[in-house]
Amino acid sequence: GEKVEQHESTLSVREGDSAVINCTYTDTASSYFPWYKQEAGKSLHFVIDIRSNVDRKQSQRLIVLLDKKAKRFSLHITATQPEDSAIYFCAASSDSNYQLIWGSGTKLIIKP
Amino acid sequence: EAAVTQSPRNKVAVTGGKVTLSCNQTNNHNNMYWYRQDTGHGLRLIHYSYGAGSTEKGDIPDGYKASRPSQENFSLILELATPSQTSVYFCASGDAGGSTEVFFGKGTRLTVV
């Protein structure tokens, strides 16, 4: 079945720099790729998604890139701020299998 | 604002006891999910439901049962709790189809002693 891998378990960047979190997937039929954020001790909430009909999407400081050939997608956070510190989860689903398959999470630390 | 409410928020149970985790959503979503979150494993799907009366096994269903008596409510039942089920449990809801935003509850921290 589909697998989604997040390659960095922890990522540390200096405040103001950009952070990049990478995910890969195995199912070529995957068509929907959301990202969720979990702040310390809290629940998960949606931050941004991308669908397979585009290769780039931006929402304010968040950019998602999708490389279907490499089966890779990434979350770019520009001009990082302390409140960006959290665990970020990627996920994928396909039109044939509606279940979201989750990555294991990347803990992003923003250093002052 | 989409709302998913879990109860209890914290629970200590004894080994061999029965535990019921409850979830209520006011989003009128067809799909509901139960996940557990453990360090190093991310989110793992236990059971899910497509609507009232339906329950489906997720990736790690052993030791858990689920019940969806209505559109709004989805319960996770541990008939014989074990220490290995100590975890944080999240309920979530989403529109049918899976390619839309999923809304999570605040989680239940379960400790089985």
Nearest by CB: A89 against B43, B48, B58? B43
Please answer whether residues B54 and B68 qualify as being in contact, where contact means their C-beta atoms are separated by less than 8 angstroms: yes
Residue the block writes with tokens 């990434």:
A74
Rounded-to-integer distance, Cα B8 and Cα B35, Å: 15
> Per-residue confidence of chain B (113 residues) as pLDDT tens digits?
669 999 999 999 999 999 999 999 999 999 999 999 998 778 999 999 999 999 999 999 999 999 999 999 999 999 999 999 999 999 999 986 667 889 999 999 999 99
Q: Could B42 and A89 be called an inter-chain contact, meaning their C-beta atoms sit closer than 8 Å?
A: yes
**Out of B42, B48, B106, whose CB is closest to A43?**
B106
Give residue B99's pLDDT. 73
Specify the 3-state DSSP secondary structure of B42: strand
The pLDDT profile of chain A, 112 residues, written as one tens digit per residue, is 789 999 899 999 999 999 999 999 999 999 999 999 999 989 999 999 999 999 999 999 999 999 999 999 999 999 999 999 999 999 998 877 678 899 999 999 999 9
In DSSP terms, which residues pair with B108 in a beta bridge? B89
Strand duo A19-25 + B65-67: pairing? unpaired
Q: Is B43 in contact with A34 (Cβ distance < 8 A)?
A: no
Query: Is A44–B41 a contact, with Cβ atoms under 8 angstroms apart?
Result: no
The alpha carbon of B1 is separated from its chain's Cα centroid by a whole number of angstroms, namely 20
Amino acid at site A93: S
Cβ neighbors of A66 (< 8 A, separation 6 or more) are A33, A50, A52, A54, A55, A56, A72, A73
Q: What is the phi-psi region of residue A28: left when phi exceeds 0, alpha when psi lies from -120 to 50, beta otherwise?
A: alpha
Contact (CB<8Å) B99/A98: yes
| Nearest-CA distance B45 → chain A (Å) | 9
Helices first, then strands: H and E counts in chain B: 0, 11
Question: Does any CB of chain A come closer than 8 Å to the CB of residue B1?
Answer: no
